[in-house]
């Protein structure tokens, strides 16, 4: 892949593929967003770079990298949305304190700590895998009968 000079930062753009977002949203959330433009939905997304332009020597176009949302989970309750908003604000404060934004706000800086506390009652990955394995074992046992 091409290497950019240290002083050059590519512009990031979002790819138009939105299948993961559509799958993560509930029907009520989609309907609400359609009926009330400007509605905010909080989500956790994974972005994967898909393409780039403006990388050739002597190229006059500014460098651009495109990202596609490849994973998405949307908050389905007010409590989940509030936790994600708190984590976002904590991460925003960290960027301010690191000098990428201008003002520093009060409160915790650790977005991960906000999420850990807010989602403490949710199943862990190990618990989820154990439940899935148990479900599969029951399915197999019923199939054998």
Domain ranges in the chain are 1-76, 77-145
At 126, the pLDDT band (50, 70, 90 cuts) reads confident
Write down the pTM of the prediction.
0.62
Q: What is the pLDDT of residue 43?
A: 93
pLDDT in tens, 48-100: 998 888 766 666 778 888 898 989 999 999 999 999 998 888 887 777 777 66
Q: What is the DSSP string of the chain?
A: -----TT--PEEEE-S--HHHHHHS-HHHHHHHHHSTT----EEEEEEEEEEES-STT--SPPEEEEEEEEEEE--SHHHHHHHHHHHHHHHHHHHHTTSSS---SS---HHHHHHHHTTTSPPHHHHHHHHHHHHHHHHHHHH-
Q: What is the pLDDT of residue 104?
A: 47
pLDDT in tens, 17-27: 778 888 899 99
């Amino acid at each position: 892949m091409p290497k950019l000079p240290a002083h050059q930062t590519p512009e990031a753009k979002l790819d138009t593929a939105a299948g993961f977002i559509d799958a993560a949203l509930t029907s009520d959330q989609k309907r609400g967003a359609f009926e009330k433009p400007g509605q905010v939905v909080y989500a956790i997304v994974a972005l994967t770079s898909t393409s780039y332009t403006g990388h050739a020597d002597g190229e006059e176009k500014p460098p651009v990298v495109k990202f596609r949302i490849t994973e998405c989970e949307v908050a389905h309750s007010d409590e989940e949305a509030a936790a994600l908003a708190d984590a976002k604000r904590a991460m925003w404060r960290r960027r301010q304190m690191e000098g990428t934004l201008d003002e520093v706000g009060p409160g915790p800086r650790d977005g991960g700590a906000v999420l850990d506390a807010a989602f403490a009652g949710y199943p862990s990955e190990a618990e989820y895998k154990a439940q899935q394995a148990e479900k599969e074992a029951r399915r197999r046992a019923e199939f054998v009968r």
